[in-house]
Structure 1
């Protein structure tokens, strides 16, 4: 496992992040955290650790600078600025393409809460690089018109006891023109804090990503 601190240039600033690459990584997962969170989100880190066991690399970055984060804490302005967040996710994807260890790896975008909208908008902007998009308790509806431009398969995961977010995900799914699946974790609330809920999320994500990678390998021309 290779782990390193990284900085990604974007909008005239640099975003700190953590890159982890298992030996012979099959893909790299870019996390887009949700409202009021950061790259230190314990839920995203727990999922990332499980993904490493499946041979998937991970990148967790702060999408806001410290000044922006302080401002957002009192105004909640930036966390709902989907164009800003999406642009920064795109910059992370582009940065990965400049690095020898990740330049050829498929990219999986993983968004939570408002980060899901940013991940979907970034997927629409970087269709060639995006293998799939995963939303955990997300607000895909906030991606608005970008939903229709997403071509990569999309996995939407919602807690069974999160009815409003489930409704919003169902509505967003109807706007997606590409392949997609909506999975409900029984008994889970919005943050998946119930015992075993996050483990179910990680298992669903691993299986989904493995299926997408297998499909790409099977479709590749035989030599």
Structure 2
């Protein structure tokens, strides 16, 4: 399984991405990272590796251009612009449909922090196209009215010690009508930095995607 550096053309910009896919892949998980992060997020890359080992294709890409990211670091102008982030994510889904190696793959979304709300908004707009969603330490509450329109089965993973985010996830879950579940990872804080906690979150995500996207072919 090889990873390609790609340019995801969308919204009149080109966004840097990392695409991993094999001829045996039957589904792809698209990652939406959180504020201040990028396709190079070590936590998302660790999760992606677990999914790839289970046979899934993955796409990690920057939701912001380099210039937007630099401005956001100073002003926080973009990180809570969920409409923009969701539109970029929808554009990535359209881009996948232009490629021969990805156009037929079932699609799951994995969102972290504010990227989770962008994933939910995009999924609400693309009912029938997005088949499953996983949020890790996410802010699904920021998806607001889109929550009631999400159709894809959704797993909300939260750290046991992340009290405020647990509360916000429960408030968001109460507004969802699709199949959904909150999974609490014991001993984990917001960034899942404690030993074994990110691995546990990755395995929860893998099992959810396997059950909702279909059993992929494991890669040896």
Q: TM-score, normalised by structure 1?
A: 0.94
**What is the DSSP-based 3-state SS (H/G/I as helix, E as strand, rest coil) of the residue aligned with 1:132?**
strand
CA contact (8 A) 2:11 2:91 kept: no
Is 1:115 the counterpart of 2:109 in the alignment? no
Equivalent residue number for residue 218 of structure 2:
none
Equivalent residue number for residue 13 of structure 2:
13
Is 1:142 the counterpart of 2:142 in the alignment? yes
Cα deviation, residue 175, structure 1: 0.6
Q: Distance in 2 between matches of 1:12 and 1:22?
A: 29
Q: Distance in 1 between matches of 2:3 and 2:88?
A: 21
Deviation sequence 1:147-187 (CA, Å, 0-9, x none): 11100000000000000000000000001111001000011
Equivalent residue number for residue 175 of structure 1:
175
Q: Distance in 2 between matches of 1:175 and 1:112?
A: 19
Cα deviation, residue 11, structure 1: 2.0
**What is the DSSP-based 3-state SS (H/G/I as helix, E as strand, rest coil) of the residue aligned with 1:47?**
helix
How many pairs align?
Answer: 215
Q: Distance in 1 between matches of 2:130 and 2:155?
A: 13
CA contact (8 A) 2:132 2:213 kept: no
Quick one: higher RCO (CA 8 Å, sep 6+), 1 or 2? 2
Q: Distance in 1 between matches of 2:50 and 2:208?
A: 13
Equivalent residue number for residue 188 of structure 1:
188
CA contact (8 A) 1:151 1:177 kept: yes
Q: TM-score, normalised by structure 2?
A: 0.95
Structure 1 residue runs of 4+, over 2 Å off? none
Q: Which runs of 5+ in 2 are unaligned?
A: 216-220
Cα deviation, residue 26, structure 1: 2.2
Q: Distance in 2 between matches of 1:112 and 1:105?
A: 22
- Name the Cα RMSD after superposition: 1.0
Q: Distance in 2 between matches of 1:107 and 1:51?
A: 13
Is 1:59 the counterpart of 2:82 in the alignment? no
**What is the DSSP-based 3-state SS (H/G/I as helix, E as strand, rest coil) of the residue aligned with 1:40?**
coil
Q: Distance in 2 between matches of 1:151 and 1:127?
A: 6
Q: Distance in 2 between matches of 1:114 and 1:143?
A: 9
Q: Which runs of 5+ in 1 are unaligned?
A: 216-223
Cα deviation, residue 209, structure 1: 0.9
**What is the DSSP-based 3-state SS (H/G/I as helix, E as strand, rest coil) of the residue aligned with 2:174?**
helix
Equivalent residue number for residue 127 of structure 1:
127
Is 1:3 the counterpart of 2:35 in the alignment? no
CA contact (8 A) 1:23 1:55 kept: no
CA contact (8 A) 1:22 1:52 kept: no
Cα deviation, residue 125, structure 1: 1.1
Of the structure 1 ranges 126-135 and 114-123, higher mean CA displacement relative to structure 2 is found in: 126-135
